[in-house]
Amino acid sequence: MKKLPTTILKDENGRDFALTNLLGDYWVLHFYPKIGTSTSTMQAERFNELFEEFDERIVAISLDLPEVIALFKTKHRLKFKLLSDVKMELASQLGIVKNGRLSRSTFITDPWGRIRKEWFNVKASTHAKQVLEEFKKTIEEDLSINPSIFQRRAFRGLRSEPIEDEKLLRLIEAAHLAPSCANKQPWRFIVVRSREYLGKLHEALSGGNYWMKYAPAIVVVYTKDEFDCQLSENRNYALFDTGLAVGFLLIQATQMGLIAHPVAGYDPVKVKELFDIDGNVITLIAIGKWGKFDQLNEKHLEAEKSARNRQELSQIMKIV
Ligand SMILES: Cc1cc2nc3c(=O)[nH]c(=O)nc-3n(C[C@H](O)[C@H](O)[C@H](O)COP(=O)(O)O)c2cc1C
């Protein structure tokens, strides 16, 4: 995604204004080729009317000198900040200058400085309203639960067709991006996808996890206290950090349209022996595509269709 440059412009008082000041919030940046014209005035007035609805997060940029924009601001009682880009530095970086002329453009930026929406050669009369709609929609979408978190389920209806190695690697890459105490990265993964090793691993599964035999890949996850921070009051972070990594893997799998279902129902001694593991095998994760159900028992078939079941928030949290 395109990023807002970190240019330093002049404000209407001639003071430096670094665009990094816009990080951490959503902003609308709109450009005027030249202020004082009837079109620019109309554009400014329309944005000004909606200033509060934009939560006051509007900035205007023009190619005029600071003293010129200061006059324009006073004359039209503009509530938003005006910035001067006399050298077209920002405008050029944003690619809105053609043959020395600036296109009347608008950008929505997000807290990370990413440009989420852009308009070029806009119509001044109706544009501000259109931008407001998009501004609200962008914030609303970002406030919703991440779609992959929402979509993820511990489903069991796995298809046995193989998953490409690149996809399996991508899952591990995502897990490996998890945070860990002092960046110790205590997680260890064995991606099992050969028929030979899958067969041996199946012997370690508990009866209730029969459905995992259809998984084209199973990730063995292990760690060891010594791999991570061991702090006072029994705060050994190996399990915690490895759990975070597993969480990341599950979310990445969901985004990629795959099931990733972690289980605890297996014989850890057998798994340790099979792979000569020195540590705690904390989970096996079945990986595969969804959509085959005839291998499932009735209880599991029902679970595939059931709604997600969670306690009320009030039972697991409080705000003080
Ligand atoms: C540590 C752990 C162990 C689990 N063990 C099993 C298991 O042995 N067999 C199984 O079918 N599901 C297992 N699950 C899946 C959970 O039953 C499932 O995540 C839970 O019921 C919530 O459902 P959801 O993930 O679809 O929201 C396990 C999940 C976790 C995190």
pLDDT tens-digit series, residues 252-307:
999 999 999 999 999 999 999 999 999 999 999 999 999 999 999 999 999 999 99
Q: At which of 140, 168, 183 does a domain end?
A: 140
User: Which range of residues forms the domain containing residue 134?
Assistant: 8-140
pLDDT at 124: 85
By CB neighbour count within 10 A (0-12 exposed, 13-18 middle, 19+ buried), where does 221 fall? buried
User: Do both 203 and 116 map to the same domain?
Assistant: no
The confidence band for 36, taking pLDDT boundaries of 50, 70 and 90, is confident
Let me know if residue 82 belongs to a domain. Answer: yes
Structure tokens at 166: 């690149």
User: Do both 94 and 161 map to the same domain?
Assistant: no
User: Do both 166 and 132 map to the same domain?
Assistant: no
Identify the residue whose tokens are 């609805």: 53
Identify the residue whose tokens are 């204004």: 17
User: Do both 20 and 135 map to the same domain?
Assistant: yes
User: Do both 20 and 94 map to the same domain?
Assistant: yes
- Domain tally for the chain? 2
Q: At which of 83, 105, 140 does a domain end?
A: 140
Q: How far is the CA of 220 from the centre of ligand 1 (A)?
A: 15
Q: How far is the CA of 262 from the centre of ligand 1 (A)?
A: 6
CATH code: domain of residue 163:
3.40.109.10
User: Do both 295 and 173 map to the same domain?
Assistant: yes
CATH code: domain of residue 44:
3.40.30.10
Nearest CA to ligand 1 atom 27: 153
Mean pLDDT of the chain: 97
Q: How far is the CA of 154 from the centre of ligand 1 (A)?
A: 6
User: Do both 46 and 165 map to the same domain?
Assistant: no
Average pLDDT for residues 25-49, to the nearest whole number? Answer: 94
Average pLDDT for residues 28-40, to the nearest whole number? Answer: 92
User: Do both 156 and 55 map to the same domain?
Assistant: no
pLDDT tens-digit series, residues 166-211:
999 999 999 999 999 999 999 999 999 999 999 999 999 999 999 9
pLDDT tens-digit series, residues 64-81:
999 999 999 999 999 999
Contact yes or no for 39/121 (Cβ under 8 A): no
pTM of the predicted protein model = 0.92
User: Do both 227 and 185 map to the same domain?
Assistant: yes
pLDDT at 150: 96
Let me know if residue 145 belongs to a domain. Answer: no
User: Do both 309 and 240 map to the same domain?
Assistant: yes
The confidence band for 100, taking pLDDT boundaries of 50, 70 and 90, is confident
Element spanning 59, H or E: strand 58-62
The confidence band for 6, taking pLDDT boundaries of 50, 70 and 90, is very high
Over pLDDT 70: what percentage of the chain? Answer: 100
Nearest CA to ligand 1 atom 7: 263
Q: How far is the CA of 38 from the centre of ligand 1 (A)?
A: 64
Distances (CA, A) of 240 to 182, 185, 282: 13, 11, 11
| Residue in 244, 261, 267 to alter for ligand 1 test, most ligand atoms within 8 A of Cβ | 261
User: Do both 21 and 132 map to the same domain?
Assistant: yes
Average pLDDT for residues 245-253, to the nearest whole number? Answer: 98
Q: How far is the CA of 155 from the centre of ligand 1 (A)?
A: 9
Q: At which of 96, 121, 140 does a domain end?
A: 140
Ligand 1 interacting residues, C-beta cut-off 6 A: 153-154, 209, 262-265, 283, 308
Average pLDDT for residues 41-67, to the nearest whole number? Answer: 96
Does the pLDDT of residue 107 top 90, yes or no?
yes
